[in-house]
Structure 1
Amino acid sequence: MGPVAATGSRAKPVRQLTKSRAAGLTIGGLSQHTGCNIETIRFYEREGLIPAPPRTEGGHRVYDREHLRRVNFIRRSRNLGFTLDEVRALLRLADGRHTCAEVQAVTLEHLDAVRRKIADLQRLERTLSETANRCVGGDVPSCPILDSLFSSGAEPLPE
């Protein structure tokens, strides 16, 4: 004899992902298959990045293959450093509302931002390296690193 449902139970069973179908994924299943946190999935839904899924009579979300595909797309885009607005623009293209040239423009803007960050990090690396090289270490009470941090960008107070 199989499990018995409680009297009055109307929730539809939710099927797990199979090779042929992804219909019926719970939010936990979607999270597990995409590696995306459950709260993040709910956030993406509230932000309109993924469509609201249908719900069972018991109120549980039921995700399908398209939800899985979009969450993977968003996660991959975010891992590449795209902002949510940039992801939104890319999804509009994926939905057929923009041209490939527009996606290229978004990508090139993002690439420029990444290159600026790399340049900033390289300047930071040089500054830290130069500052650390001025320090001899040891037990001296004076430290060029601390002196540099206290003096960097600070304007002297008027007397």
Structure 2
Amino acid sequence: MISELAMQSGVKVSTVRFYERAGLLPAPHRSANGYREFDKDDARHVRFLRRGQELGFTLTELGAFASLTGGAAPASVVTEHAQSKIDDIDRRIVDLQRTRSALLVVAARPVVDPGSICPVVDALGGATPASLSSDTAG
């Protein structure tokens, strides 16, 4: 049943229904009374979708990666998405490391000179590689 799948996957029933409507879950088998019947692979797939979204993947990207399972799509179809995501993750790592360093400064010395900018404000509000590339593109 859909409620069991939702519980096993750590999502709401509405999320499972959304994934079904979006074509991200294969059509489930139906019991004689019309209830959807899911298995452990379906639960793993829903957890993959949820966790992927938490990590910043789009549903389109997740669908492309899912299509690799069982050979539904050739790897070449996903290669460009993978490289783009690697580049995005690398930019995020740099941003997170800079933010972490600023937080360490504030944690060690929470009082900031009134004439200076808080290190966290500077780290989050300053120019980043990602924002510089998007600013020059527009």
TM tier relative to shorter chain: 0.5 to 0.7
Higher helix share: 2
Within a 5 Å distance, the mapping from 1:114-133 to structure 2 comes to 114-125=89-100, 129=105
**Matched residues, number:** 119
- 1:50 Cα deviation (Å)? 0.3
Distance 2:56 2:7 in 1: 22
Which of 120, 129, 135 is the matching residue for 2:112? 135
Distance 1:135 1:46 in 2: 51
Counting aligned pairs with the same residue, the percent is 36
Pairing of 1:13-28 with structure 2 (within 5 A) = 26-28=1-3
Aligned to 2:59: 84
Q: Which runs of 5+ in 1 are unaligned?
A: 1-25, 137-141, 154-159
- 1:42 and 2:17 correspond: yes
**AA matched with 1:114:** I
Task: Kindly indicate whether the alpha-carbon contact (under 8 Å) linking 1:56 and 1:62 is maintained by their aligned counterparts in 2.
Answer: yes
Aligned-pair RMSD on alpha carbons?
A: 3.6
Write the letter of the residue equivalent to 1:36.
Answer: V
- Bigger Rg, which one: 1
- 2:12 is aligned with 1:33: no
Indicate how the Cα distance of structure 1 residues 126 and 134 shifts in structure 2: closer, same or farther if over 3 A, else same.
Answer: farther
Structure 2: gaps (5+ residues): 127-138
Which residue of structure 2 lines up, in the alignment, with residue 98 of structure 1?
A: 73
CA contact (8 A) 1:134 1:145 kept: no
Equivalence for 1:108: 83
Mapped partners of 1:144, 1:79: distance in 2: 35
Aligned-residue offset at 1:126: 5.2
Deviation digits for residues 57-81 of structure 1, max 9, x if unmatched? 6553332355334324424544554
Task: Give the alignment partner of residue 26 of structure 2, picking from 35, 47, 51.
Answer: 51
| Corresponding residue number in structure 2 for 1:23 | none
Shift of 1:99: 2.1
